[in-house]
Structure 1
Amino acid sequence: MRRRHAVLGLLAVAACAPAGIPPGAKTTVILVRHADRAGEILNAQGKARAANLSEALVDYEIDAIYSPDILRNLQTAEPLSQARGLPVSVIAKERAGAQMSRAHPNGTVIWIGNKGNLRTIWEELGAPGAAPQEYGEIGIVTLGPTGPPEVARRVVLP
């Protein structure tokens, strides 16, 4: 009888995890839109905003920085990468939330993305409300072992 209750308990925890996210993951995923741009590259305001990203996240011990292979995203990530001594890992945007939470089930990661993939990852993580869409918006999604994800928000100024 105890074994049956334990199995049912594990199934209940697994049911709370969004699809593709490891059951019991305690990952914090920070989602940021690339900084302000002119065409495909950051403009002066975007470079300033990218330089201030590390300070806006000073309270977070970041384990990994992720981005798709898009120049403006990589330019946004570069100052954070240098400040934290972490490389920028380029991964596909498809199922990025699951990839990051599997790689860091008890860690904190950041995704420097674009409007579309930010919405997709936000939904993939099961986060309530709207994904960050404007320059400088930061959405922080914390996955817990049970219950819905918790969301916090910040802004990085230029």
Structure 2
Amino acid sequence: MLFSSLLFLRLWRWLLPVCVVLLAGACASVEPRKASQPAFTTVYVVRHAEKDPTPGLPDPSLTAAGKQRAQTLVDTLRKATITAVFSTATTRTRSTAEPLATARQLPVQPYDARQLAALAARIRREYKGQTVLVVGHSNTILETVEALGAPRPVPAVQDSEYDYLLQVRIPQDSTQAASAVARRYGVR
């Protein structure tokens, strides 16, 4: 009995410091939970709202219905934490982007619709883990989705369709593919 007690004490003297070191290491590796960066960068892509249909206008403005749709976009994205707004240089795209940019106190940043790869690279680099809005044209919004690395969520956007709201999710993990979904907003 005395022998087993002495053995236990010797073992305990050796085991106790080891347990303390292991416990301290485990506690040190547990950091307070920080607000982590979202796992995705989210990009909303929309076409400009309804434009003046008068033939031959070089830079048509929005119709009353288009102005209403631009306002509806603000309401539609009210829960999204938009941190940047991009628009081409036309009156109709800027007029679609401005109500949301104004509501969020953000500038409307211009981009060149012929340089979609540059826009996509900028969003990936400067807005990682954030949510942005891109306003383009019927012949550029699906190409924007593709430039962001996602497949087209619809085969085409007709010239008469102004109500698509495309949502692209770009994973922070570059081994995962980007995805896109299409939904409609406002009055069709």
Instruction: Please tell me the TM-score bracket, short chain as reference.
Output: 0.7 to 0.9
Choose the corresponding residue for 1:35, options 40, 46, 49.
Answer: 49
Cross-structure match for 1:101:
124
Cross-structure match for 1:65:
85
Which structure would you say has the larger Rg? 2
Q: Give the CA deviation at 1:44.
A: 0.8
Cα distance in 1, alignment partners of residues 162 and 125 from structure 2: 28
Cross-structure match for 1:117:
140
| Number of corresponding residues | 134
What letter matches 1:63 in structure 2? T
Cα distance in 2, alignment partners of residues 131 and 138 from structure 1: 14
Cα distance in 2, alignment partners of residues 76 and 132 from structure 1: 21
Cα distance in 2, alignment partners of residues 130 and 124 from structure 1: 15
The DSSP-based 3-state class of the residue aligned with 1:63 is strand
* TM-score normalised per structure 1: 0.77
Instruction: Decide whether the 8 Å contact of 2:70 with 2:96 is kept in 1.
Output: yes
Cross-structure match for 1:155:
184
- Segments of structure 1 that go 5 or more residues without pairing to the other structure are 1-24
The sequence identity of aligned pairs, in percent, is 34
What letter matches 1:119 in structure 2? L
Q: Which has the higher contact order (CA 8 A, sep 6+)?
A: 1
* TM-score normalised per structure 2: 0.65
Cα distance in 2, alignment partners of residues 141 and 85 from structure 1: 23
* Deviation readout 1:109-150 (Å, 9 max, x if unpaired): 110000222122111122223277321210000101142223
Where has structure 1 moved over 6 Å in runs of 4 or more?
Answer: none
Cα distance in 1, alignment partners of residues 147 and 112 from structure 2: 14
Cα distance in 1, alignment partners of residues 148 and 92 from structure 2: 24
Cross-structure match for 1:141:
168
Cα-Cα RMSD: 1.8
